[in-house]
Chain A
Amino acid sequence: MAAESGKIDPMHQFQVEPLFGQDWTVAGHSIAFTNSSLWMLITLVAVWLFMLGGMKRELVPGRWQAAVEGVTGFISNMMETNVGPAGRKFVPYVFSLFMFILFANMLGLLPVGIIPGVHPFTVTSHLTITAVLAIVSFGIVLAVGFAKHGLHFFSLFVPHGAPWWMLPILIPVEFVSFMVRPFSLALRLFVAMTAGHILLKVLAGFVINGLNAEAFWVAPVVSLPSLILMIGISALELLVAAIQAYVFALLTSLYLNDAINLH
Protein backbone atom coordinates (compact mmCIF):
# COMPACT_ATOMS: atom_id res chain seq x y z
CA MET A 1 0.00 0.00 0.00
CA ALA A 2 2.48 2.59 -1.15
CA ALA A 3 4.18 2.33 2.20
CA GLU A 4 7.56 3.30 0.76
CA SER A 5 7.31 6.93 1.70
CA GLY A 6 5.23 6.32 4.81
CA LYS A 7 2.21 7.56 2.88
CA ILE A 8 -0.90 5.45 2.61
CA ASP A 9 -2.92 5.88 -0.53
CA PRO A 10 -6.57 4.99 0.24
CA MET A 11 -7.38 4.78 -3.46
CA HIS A 12 -4.75 2.17 -4.22
CA GLN A 13 -7.09 -0.65 -3.22
CA PHE A 14 -9.30 0.13 -6.23
CA GLN A 15 -6.45 -0.24 -8.70
CA VAL A 16 -7.07 -2.96 -11.23
CA GLU A 17 -3.88 -4.81 -12.06
CA PRO A 18 -3.50 -7.50 -14.67
CA LEU A 19 -2.36 -10.80 -13.19
CA PHE A 20 -1.73 -12.66 -16.44
CA GLY A 21 -2.98 -12.76 -19.98
CA GLN A 22 -2.05 -9.15 -20.72
CA ASP A 23 -1.93 -9.99 -24.41
CA TRP A 24 -5.39 -11.60 -24.56
CA THR A 25 -7.63 -9.57 -26.81
CA VAL A 26 -11.14 -9.89 -28.14
CA ALA A 27 -11.95 -7.64 -31.10
CA GLY A 28 -9.03 -5.42 -30.26
CA HIS A 29 -9.91 -5.04 -26.58
CA SER A 30 -7.75 -6.41 -23.79
CA ILE A 31 -9.42 -9.04 -21.65
CA ALA A 32 -6.49 -9.58 -19.34
CA PHE A 33 -7.13 -11.62 -16.23
CA THR A 34 -6.98 -8.96 -13.50
CA ASN A 35 -7.36 -8.97 -9.74
CA SER A 36 -10.94 -7.84 -10.41
CA SER A 37 -11.51 -10.93 -12.58
CA LEU A 38 -9.99 -13.10 -9.87
CA TRP A 39 -12.38 -11.76 -7.22
CA MET A 40 -15.33 -12.17 -9.58
CA LEU A 41 -14.40 -15.82 -10.00
CA ILE A 42 -13.94 -16.15 -6.23
CA THR A 43 -17.42 -14.65 -5.84
CA LEU A 44 -18.77 -17.13 -8.36
CA VAL A 45 -17.16 -20.09 -6.57
CA ALA A 46 -18.29 -18.84 -3.14
CA VAL A 47 -21.89 -18.41 -4.30
CA TRP A 48 -21.81 -21.83 -5.94
CA LEU A 49 -20.34 -23.51 -2.85
CA PHE A 50 -22.89 -21.80 -0.62
CA MET A 51 -25.74 -22.90 -2.85
CA LEU A 52 -24.35 -26.44 -2.99
CA GLY A 53 -25.25 -26.75 0.69
CA GLY A 54 -28.89 -26.26 -0.24
CA MET A 55 -28.88 -29.03 -2.81
CA LYS A 56 -29.15 -31.90 -0.32
CA ARG A 57 -32.89 -31.37 -0.64
CA GLU A 58 -33.72 -33.07 2.62
CA LEU A 59 -37.22 -32.97 4.02
CA VAL A 60 -35.91 -31.72 7.33
CA PRO A 61 -33.22 -29.19 6.46
CA GLY A 62 -29.89 -28.96 8.25
CA ARG A 63 -28.45 -25.57 9.21
CA TRP A 64 -26.76 -24.99 5.87
CA GLN A 65 -29.73 -26.07 3.83
CA ALA A 66 -31.98 -23.92 6.01
CA ALA A 67 -29.70 -20.93 5.38
CA VAL A 68 -29.83 -21.45 1.61
CA GLU A 69 -33.58 -21.91 1.71
CA GLY A 70 -33.83 -18.77 3.82
CA VAL A 71 -32.06 -16.72 1.14
CA THR A 72 -34.04 -18.16 -1.77
CA GLY A 73 -37.24 -17.74 0.21
CA PHE A 74 -36.26 -14.16 1.03
CA ILE A 75 -35.85 -13.26 -2.64
CA SER A 76 -38.93 -15.13 -3.85
CA ASN A 77 -41.02 -13.53 -1.06
CA MET A 78 -39.71 -10.14 -2.10
CA MET A 79 -40.71 -10.79 -5.71
CA GLU A 80 -44.07 -12.13 -4.60
CA THR A 81 -44.90 -9.06 -2.50
CA ASN A 82 -43.50 -6.46 -4.90
CA VAL A 83 -44.48 -7.89 -8.26
CA GLY A 84 -47.10 -10.53 -7.52
CA PRO A 85 -47.37 -14.01 -9.01
CA ALA A 86 -45.80 -12.84 -12.30
CA GLY A 87 -42.64 -12.03 -10.35
CA ARG A 88 -41.75 -15.68 -9.87
CA LYS A 89 -40.31 -15.83 -13.38
CA PHE A 90 -37.70 -13.23 -12.43
CA VAL A 91 -36.57 -14.90 -9.20
CA PRO A 92 -33.50 -16.55 -10.84
CA TYR A 93 -32.25 -13.23 -12.21
CA VAL A 94 -32.91 -11.15 -9.09
CA PHE A 95 -31.49 -13.93 -6.92
CA SER A 96 -28.30 -14.08 -8.99
CA LEU A 97 -28.00 -10.31 -8.80
CA PHE A 98 -28.51 -10.30 -5.04
CA MET A 99 -26.08 -13.13 -4.38
CA PHE A 100 -23.41 -11.77 -6.71
CA ILE A 101 -23.50 -8.30 -5.12
CA LEU A 102 -23.80 -9.64 -1.57
CA PHE A 103 -20.90 -12.06 -1.91
CA ALA A 104 -18.73 -9.57 -3.80
CA ASN A 105 -19.35 -6.97 -1.08
CA MET A 106 -18.66 -9.43 1.73
CA LEU A 107 -15.55 -10.94 0.13
CA GLY A 108 -14.16 -7.44 -0.37
CA LEU A 109 -14.32 -6.99 3.40
CA LEU A 110 -12.34 -10.13 4.18
CA PRO A 111 -9.21 -9.26 6.17
CA VAL A 112 -6.95 -11.20 3.80
CA GLY A 113 -4.64 -8.16 3.64
CA ILE A 114 -2.83 -9.49 6.70
CA ILE A 115 -1.22 -12.05 4.39
CA PRO A 116 1.69 -10.28 2.68
CA GLY A 117 1.14 -9.67 -0.98
CA VAL A 118 -2.57 -10.46 -0.89
CA HIS A 119 -5.07 -7.65 -1.27
CA PRO A 120 -8.82 -8.01 -1.08
CA PHE A 121 -10.63 -6.43 -3.94
CA THR A 122 -14.26 -5.33 -3.95
CA VAL A 123 -15.70 -5.99 -7.38
CA THR A 124 -18.76 -3.83 -6.72
CA SER A 125 -16.66 -0.77 -5.91
CA HIS A 126 -16.07 -0.38 -9.63
CA LEU A 127 -18.36 1.77 -11.70
CA THR A 128 -17.87 -0.47 -14.72
CA ILE A 129 -19.31 -3.46 -12.88
CA THR A 130 -22.23 -1.71 -11.18
CA ALA A 131 -23.08 0.13 -14.39
CA VAL A 132 -23.22 -3.09 -16.39
CA LEU A 133 -25.42 -4.74 -13.76
CA ALA A 134 -27.70 -1.68 -13.64
CA ILE A 135 -27.93 -1.51 -17.43
CA VAL A 136 -28.77 -5.21 -17.61
CA SER A 137 -31.55 -4.72 -15.02
CA PHE A 138 -32.83 -1.63 -16.80
CA GLY A 139 -32.68 -3.44 -20.13
CA ILE A 140 -34.73 -6.31 -18.73
CA VAL A 141 -37.27 -3.82 -17.38
CA LEU A 142 -37.56 -2.13 -20.79
CA ALA A 143 -37.76 -5.44 -22.65
CA VAL A 144 -40.42 -6.84 -20.31
CA GLY A 145 -42.37 -3.58 -20.36
CA PHE A 146 -42.48 -3.24 -24.14
CA ALA A 147 -43.05 -6.97 -24.70
CA LYS A 148 -45.97 -7.00 -22.27
CA HIS A 149 -47.65 -3.66 -22.96
CA GLY A 150 -46.22 -2.46 -26.28
CA LEU A 151 -46.45 1.29 -26.67
CA HIS A 152 -48.93 1.36 -23.80
CA PHE A 153 -45.84 1.04 -21.61
CA PHE A 154 -45.43 4.83 -22.02
CA SER A 155 -48.52 5.31 -19.84
CA LEU A 156 -46.02 4.65 -17.03
CA PHE A 157 -45.13 8.31 -17.37
CA VAL A 158 -48.71 9.43 -16.73
CA PRO A 159 -49.41 9.46 -13.00
CA HIS A 160 -52.79 8.16 -11.90
CA GLY A 161 -55.51 10.73 -11.38
CA ALA A 162 -53.43 13.71 -12.46
CA PRO A 163 -55.49 16.52 -14.04
CA TRP A 164 -54.85 16.80 -17.80
CA TRP A 165 -53.39 20.31 -17.58
CA MET A 166 -50.65 19.06 -15.26
CA LEU A 167 -49.46 16.46 -17.76
CA PRO A 168 -47.01 18.71 -19.69
CA ILE A 169 -45.14 19.17 -16.43
CA LEU A 170 -45.56 15.69 -14.98
CA ILE A 171 -44.64 13.62 -18.01
CA PRO A 172 -41.11 15.09 -18.39
CA VAL A 173 -40.56 14.73 -14.65
CA GLU A 174 -41.68 11.12 -14.71
CA PHE A 175 -39.57 10.48 -17.79
CA VAL A 176 -36.47 11.88 -16.14
CA SER A 177 -37.10 9.91 -12.96
CA PHE A 178 -37.47 6.79 -15.09
CA MET A 179 -34.34 7.36 -17.11
CA VAL A 180 -32.29 8.13 -14.04
CA ARG A 181 -32.98 4.69 -12.59
CA PRO A 182 -29.95 2.86 -14.02
CA PHE A 183 -27.68 5.67 -12.86
CA SER A 184 -29.10 5.65 -9.35
CA LEU A 185 -28.79 1.84 -9.23
CA ALA A 186 -25.19 1.86 -10.41
CA LEU A 187 -23.99 4.91 -8.51
CA ARG A 188 -25.58 3.98 -5.18
CA LEU A 189 -23.75 0.65 -4.97
CA PHE A 190 -20.49 2.06 -6.35
CA VAL A 191 -20.50 5.04 -3.98
CA ALA A 192 -21.48 3.04 -0.90
CA MET A 193 -18.75 0.48 -1.46
CA THR A 194 -16.07 3.00 -2.41
CA ALA A 195 -16.81 5.36 0.46
CA GLY A 196 -16.81 2.60 3.06
CA HIS A 197 -13.52 1.19 1.86
CA ILE A 198 -11.87 4.60 1.68
CA LEU A 199 -13.04 5.34 5.22
CA LEU A 200 -11.63 2.04 6.50
CA LYS A 201 -8.35 2.60 4.66
CA VAL A 202 -7.99 6.16 6.00
CA LEU A 203 -8.56 4.91 9.54
CA ALA A 204 -6.06 2.10 8.96
CA GLY A 205 -3.58 4.73 7.83
CA PHE A 206 -4.17 6.61 11.11
CA VAL A 207 -3.45 3.43 13.08
CA ILE A 208 -0.24 2.66 11.20
CA ASN A 209 1.08 6.22 11.06
CA GLY A 210 0.27 6.70 14.75
CA LEU A 211 2.27 3.59 15.64
CA ASN A 212 5.17 4.76 13.50
CA ALA A 213 5.18 8.26 14.94
CA GLU A 214 8.25 9.39 16.84
CA ALA A 215 6.41 11.06 19.71
CA PHE A 216 5.40 8.26 22.12
CA TRP A 217 2.00 9.82 23.02
CA VAL A 218 0.68 9.67 19.46
CA ALA A 219 0.01 5.93 19.41
CA PRO A 220 -2.51 5.77 22.31
CA VAL A 221 -4.17 9.07 21.33
CA VAL A 222 -4.47 8.48 17.59
CA SER A 223 -4.06 4.78 16.87
CA LEU A 224 -6.20 3.30 19.62
CA PRO A 225 -9.35 5.38 18.97
CA SER A 226 -8.90 4.84 15.23
CA LEU A 227 -8.66 1.09 15.75
CA ILE A 228 -11.78 1.07 17.90
CA LEU A 229 -13.59 3.15 15.31
CA MET A 230 -12.39 0.76 12.59
CA ILE A 231 -13.88 -2.19 14.42
CA GLY A 232 -17.22 -0.45 14.67
CA ILE A 233 -17.15 0.74 11.08
CA SER A 234 -16.18 -2.74 9.88
CA ALA A 235 -19.32 -4.07 11.52
CA LEU A 236 -21.26 -1.26 9.89
CA GLU A 237 -19.67 -2.11 6.54
CA LEU A 238 -20.92 -5.68 6.81
CA LEU A 239 -24.39 -4.25 7.30
CA VAL A 240 -23.91 -1.88 4.35
CA ALA A 241 -22.72 -4.80 2.21
CA ALA A 242 -25.95 -6.67 2.90
CA ILE A 243 -28.17 -3.59 2.64
CA GLN A 244 -26.70 -2.48 -0.69
CA ALA A 245 -27.25 -5.94 -2.16
CA TYR A 246 -30.81 -5.88 -0.81
CA VAL A 247 -31.46 -2.37 -2.16
CA PHE A 248 -30.20 -3.31 -5.61
CA ALA A 249 -32.41 -6.39 -5.69
CA LEU A 250 -35.37 -4.53 -4.18
CA LEU A 251 -35.19 -1.65 -6.66
CA THR A 252 -34.84 -4.10 -9.53
CA SER A 253 -37.97 -5.87 -8.32
CA LEU A 254 -39.84 -2.55 -8.00
CA TYR A 255 -38.83 -1.50 -11.51
CA LEU A 256 -39.90 -4.92 -12.78
CA ASN A 257 -43.22 -4.38 -11.02
CA ASP A 258 -43.64 -1.12 -12.94
CA ALA A 259 -42.87 -2.92 -16.17
CA ILE A 260 -45.25 -5.81 -15.48
CA ASN A 261 -48.16 -4.12 -13.75
CA LEU A 262 -47.62 -0.49 -14.84
CA HIS A 263 -49.14 1.51 -12.02
Chain B
Amino acid sequence: MPQIAQISEIFASQLFWLTISFGLIFFVVGLGMVPKIQGTVDARDARIAADLATAASARETADRLEAEHRAALDKSRSEAAAVAAEAKAAAAQATETRVKAADAAAGTRIEDAMRRIAEARLSAEAEVEAVAADAAAAMVARVAGLTVDEDAARAAVKQELVRG
Protein backbone atom coordinates (compact mmCIF):
# COMPACT_ATOMS: atom_id res chain seq x y z
CA MET B 1 0.00 0.00 0.00
CA PRO B 2 1.89 3.08 -1.20
CA GLN B 3 -0.12 5.33 1.10
CA ILE B 4 1.43 3.66 4.14
CA ALA B 5 4.68 2.44 2.63
CA GLN B 6 5.62 5.96 1.47
CA ILE B 7 4.23 7.83 4.44
CA SER B 8 7.50 8.89 6.08
CA GLU B 9 8.99 9.82 2.72
CA ILE B 10 6.12 11.97 1.41
CA PHE B 11 4.55 13.31 4.58
CA ALA B 12 6.34 16.65 4.60
CA SER B 13 5.67 17.25 0.92
CA GLN B 14 1.99 16.29 1.26
CA LEU B 15 1.60 18.55 4.29
CA PHE B 16 3.37 21.44 2.59
CA TRP B 17 1.35 21.32 -0.59
CA LEU B 18 -1.88 20.61 1.25
CA THR B 19 -1.26 23.66 3.40
CA ILE B 20 -0.76 25.75 0.29
CA SER B 21 -3.69 24.45 -1.72
CA PHE B 22 -6.20 24.05 1.12
CA GLY B 23 -5.00 27.28 2.69
CA LEU B 24 -5.58 29.14 -0.57
CA ILE B 25 -9.02 27.55 -0.92
CA PHE B 26 -9.84 28.57 2.65
CA PHE B 27 -8.57 32.15 2.38
CA VAL B 28 -9.49 32.94 -1.22
CA VAL B 29 -12.65 30.90 -1.68
CA GLY B 30 -13.93 30.30 1.86
CA LEU B 31 -13.20 33.71 3.35
CA GLY B 32 -13.16 35.75 0.14
CA MET B 33 -15.85 34.45 -2.16
CA VAL B 34 -18.37 32.60 0.02
CA PRO B 35 -19.43 35.64 2.10
CA LYS B 36 -19.90 37.68 -1.08
CA ILE B 37 -22.03 34.97 -2.67
CA GLN B 38 -24.01 34.59 0.53
CA GLY B 39 -24.39 38.37 0.56
CA THR B 40 -25.82 38.27 -2.95
CA VAL B 41 -28.25 35.54 -1.92
CA ASP B 42 -29.26 37.43 1.21
CA ALA B 43 -29.72 40.66 -0.75
CA ARG B 44 -31.88 38.84 -3.27
CA ASP B 45 -33.95 37.23 -0.51
CA ALA B 46 -34.40 40.63 1.14
CA ARG B 47 -35.37 42.16 -2.20
CA ILE B 48 -37.91 39.41 -2.84
CA ALA B 49 -39.34 39.77 0.65
CA ALA B 50 -39.60 43.55 0.18
CA ASP B 51 -41.26 43.11 -3.23
CA LEU B 52 -43.74 40.66 -1.75
CA ALA B 53 -44.51 43.06 1.09
CA THR B 54 -45.02 45.89 -1.43
CA ALA B 55 -47.30 43.69 -3.50
CA ALA B 56 -49.28 42.68 -0.41
CA SER B 57 -49.73 46.30 0.67
CA ALA B 58 -50.69 47.31 -2.89
CA ARG B 59 -53.30 44.57 -2.97
CA GLU B 60 -54.58 45.71 0.40
CA THR B 61 -54.84 49.28 -0.90
CA ALA B 62 -56.66 48.06 -3.99
CA ASP B 63 -59.09 46.07 -1.87
CA ARG B 64 -59.68 49.05 0.37
CA LEU B 65 -60.21 51.39 -2.60
CA GLU B 66 -62.63 48.96 -4.15
CA ALA B 67 -64.57 48.66 -0.91
CA GLU B 68 -64.65 52.44 -0.62
CA HIS B 69 -65.77 52.79 -4.21
CA ARG B 70 -68.48 50.21 -3.67
CA ALA B 71 -69.66 51.94 -0.50
CA ALA B 72 -69.72 55.30 -2.30
CA LEU B 73 -71.64 53.72 -5.16
CA ASP B 74 -74.16 52.19 -2.76
CA LYS B 75 -74.50 55.49 -0.91
CA SER B 76 -75.09 57.55 -4.04
CA ARG B 77 -77.51 54.94 -5.32
CA SER B 78 -79.54 55.07 -2.13
CA GLU B 79 -79.36 58.87 -2.21
CA ALA B 80 -80.65 58.87 -5.75
CA ALA B 81 -83.44 56.56 -4.74
CA ALA B 82 -84.33 58.87 -1.84
CA VAL B 83 -84.32 61.91 -4.13
CA ALA B 84 -86.51 60.12 -6.64
CA ALA B 85 -88.97 59.08 -3.93
CA GLU B 86 -89.05 62.62 -2.62
CA ALA B 87 -89.66 64.03 -6.06
CA LYS B 88 -92.42 61.51 -6.62
CA ALA B 89 -94.03 62.46 -3.32
CA ALA B 90 -93.75 66.17 -4.10
CA ALA B 91 -95.22 65.67 -7.54
CA ALA B 92 -98.06 63.63 -6.08
CA GLN B 93 -98.73 66.33 -3.53
CA ALA B 94 -98.63 69.07 -6.16
CA THR B 95 -101.03 67.11 -8.34
CA GLU B 96 -103.31 66.58 -5.38
CA THR B 97 -103.40 70.28 -4.51
CA ARG B 98 -104.03 71.21 -8.10
CA VAL B 99 -106.79 68.64 -8.40
CA LYS B 100 -108.24 69.93 -5.17
CA ALA B 101 -108.06 73.51 -6.40
CA ALA B 102 -109.60 72.53 -9.69
CA ASP B 103 -112.26 70.63 -7.77
CA ALA B 104 -113.00 73.66 -5.67
CA ALA B 105 -113.13 75.92 -8.70
CA ALA B 106 -115.47 73.55 -10.44
CA GLY B 107 -117.60 73.37 -7.29
CA THR B 108 -117.99 77.11 -7.07
CA ARG B 109 -118.83 77.30 -10.72
CA ILE B 110 -121.41 74.58 -10.33
CA GLU B 111 -122.84 76.40 -7.32
CA ASP B 112 -122.91 79.64 -9.31
CA ALA B 113 -124.66 77.97 -12.14
CA MET B 114 -127.16 76.35 -9.77
CA ARG B 115 -127.82 79.67 -8.12
CA ARG B 116 -128.26 81.34 -11.45
CA ILE B 117 -130.56 78.55 -12.53
CA ALA B 118 -132.55 78.97 -9.32
CA GLU B 119 -132.70 82.74 -9.84
CA ALA B 120 -133.73 82.23 -13.42
CA ARG B 121 -136.41 79.81 -12.30
CA LEU B 122 -137.61 82.23 -9.64
CA SER B 123 -137.76 85.09 -12.06
CA ALA B 124 -139.37 82.86 -14.61
CA GLU B 125 -141.90 81.75 -12.04
CA ALA B 126 -142.59 85.37 -11.09
CA GLU B 127 -142.95 86.27 -14.72
CA VAL B 128 -145.25 83.30 -15.23
CA GLU B 129 -147.30 84.52 -12.22
CA ALA B 130 -147.47 87.99 -13.55
CA VAL B 131 -148.37 86.83 -17.03
CA ALA B 132 -150.91 84.39 -15.61
CA ALA B 133 -152.35 87.06 -13.35
CA ASP B 134 -152.57 89.46 -16.29
CA ALA B 135 -154.12 86.74 -18.40
CA ALA B 136 -156.53 85.80 -15.61
CA ALA B 137 -157.53 89.42 -15.04
CA ALA B 138 -157.98 89.88 -18.80
CA MET B 139 -160.03 86.68 -19.01
CA VAL B 140 -162.17 87.75 -16.06
CA ALA B 141 -162.68 91.17 -17.62
CA ARG B 142 -163.60 89.61 -20.94
CA VAL B 143 -165.80 86.90 -19.59
CA ALA B 144 -167.45 88.53 -16.60
CA GLY B 145 -166.85 92.14 -17.27
CA LEU B 146 -165.36 92.50 -13.91
CA THR B 147 -162.34 94.41 -13.14
CA VAL B 148 -160.21 92.40 -10.86
CA ASP B 149 -157.50 94.23 -9.15
CA GLU B 150 -154.04 93.04 -9.83
CA ASP B 151 -153.21 91.80 -6.38
CA ALA B 152 -156.24 89.61 -6.11
CA ALA B 153 -155.54 88.15 -9.50
CA ARG B 154 -151.96 87.44 -8.54
CA ALA B 155 -153.03 85.78 -5.25
CA ALA B 156 -155.49 83.60 -7.08
CA VAL B 157 -152.95 82.61 -9.70
CA LYS B 158 -150.44 81.83 -6.99
CA GLN B 159 -153.01 79.69 -5.25
CA GLU B 160 -153.75 77.86 -8.47
CA LEU B 161 -150.05 77.39 -9.31
CA VAL B 162 -149.36 76.00 -5.91
CA ARG B 163 -152.22 73.62 -6.16
CA GLY B 164 -150.80 72.55 -9.43
- Residues of A at the B interface (CB closer than 8 Å) are 11-12, 14-16, 18, 26, 29-34, 36-37, 40-41, 43-44, 47-48, 51-52, 54-55, 57-59, 68-69, 72-73, 76, 91-93, 95-96, 99-100, 125-129, 132-133, 190, 194
Q: Cβ of B159 < 8 Å from any Cβ of A?
A: no
Q: A30-B13, A48-B28, A72-B34 are in contact. List 14 more A-B contacts (CB 8 A).
A: A16-B10, A29-B13, A31-B12, A34-B17, A40-B21, A44-B22, A44-B24, A48-B25, A55-B33, A55-B36, A76-B38, A96-B25, A100-B22, A133-B22
Find the A residue at minimum CB distance from B47: A59
Find the A residue at minimum CB distance from B28: A48
- Chain B residue contacts of A40, Cβ below 8 A: 17-18, 20-22
Size of the chain B interface, CB-CB below 8 angstroms? 36
Known: A14-B2, A51-B29, A132-B18. A30 touches B12 (CB 8 A): yes
When chains A and B are docked, how far (Å) is the Cα of A259 from the Cα of B13? 32
When chains A and B are docked, how far (Å) is the Cα of A103 from the Cα of B38? 21
**Does A69 contact B41, Cβ atoms closer than 8 Å?**
yes
Cross-chain pairs A/B with CB under 8 angstroms, 18 sampled: A31-B12, A34-B10, A37-B17, A40-B17, A41-B17, A44-B24, A47-B25, A51-B34, A51-B37, A57-B36, A59-B47, A69-B37, A73-B38, A92-B31, A95-B34, A127-B3, A128-B15, A129-B14
Main secondary structure of the interface of A (DSSP, over half): helix
Find the B residue at minimum CB distance from A57: B40
**Does B7 contact A127, Cβ atoms closer than 8 Å?**
yes
User: Within B34-65, which residues are at the interface with A (CB < 8 Å)?
Assistant: 34-38, 40-41, 44, 47
- Of the residues B3, B17, B40, B47, contact of A125 by C-beta under 8 Å: B3
- Chain A residue contacts of B25, Cβ below 8 A: 43-44, 47-48, 96, 99-100
- Chain A residue contacts of B38, Cβ below 8 A: 72-73, 76, 91
**Does A96 contact B14, Cβ atoms closer than 8 Å?**
no
When chains A and B are docked, how far (Å) is the Cα of A41 from the Cα of B30? 16
**Does B29 contact A16, Cβ atoms closer than 8 Å?**
no
**Does B3 contact A132, Cβ atoms closer than 8 Å?**
no
Q: Cβ of B1 < 8 Å from any Cβ of A?
A: yes
When chains A and B are docked, how far (Å) is the Cα of A191 from the Cα of B15? 19
In this complex, the member of B2, B10, B15, B44 whose beta carbon has the largest number of chain A beta carbons within 10 angstroms is B10
- Chain B residue contacts of A91, Cβ below 8 A: 30, 34, 38
Known: A31-B13, A96-B26, A99-B25. A128 touches B7 (CB 8 A): yes
